[in-house]
Amino acid sequence: MKKLSFFLPLLMLVFSCSNTKVGTDEYKGIVTDMTGLDGCGMMIKLDNGTSLQPVVLPQGFVLQKDKKVKLRYTILKDRMSTCMSGPVVQITSISYL
């Protein structure tokens, strides 16, 4: 019983922690080239004004400057960037409009 009372709170702590915010909504935006800023590259500016710094894209997808996209993403809270122009994200789905 003592082992159970020790491991149960530990398991609850481990499984309740999360480093990501999962987004299930679909957003529209435009790919912008921010390579002129230190630590930045291709970014996505959403229609609501939010800028995203994608660091993980679906396999084979290449961002093209000034193209409109629709996407779903997950914020990667465990990643940092020197760009500081928006949250670092993993793109879970994306397509050109």
pLDDT tens per residue, range 38-60: 889 999 999 999 999 999 999 99
Of 18-27, 33-42, 45-54, 56-65, the poorest mean pLDDT is in 18-27
Which DSSP state fits 85? S
d(CA 94, CA 96): 7
Confidence of residue 11 (pLDDT cuts 50, 70, 90): very low
Q: What are the extents of the domains in the chain?
A: 20-96
* pLDDT score of 95 more than 60: yes
Residue pair 48/74 in contact by the 8 Å Cβ criterion: no
* pTM (two decimals): 0.74
Residue pair 40/21 in contact by the 8 Å Cβ criterion: no
CATH assignment of 20-96? 2.40.50.500
d(CA 90, CA 56): 5
pLDDT at residue 12 in the model: 52
User: How many CA atoms, within 13 angstroms, populate the side-chain half-sphere of residue 70?
Assistant: 4
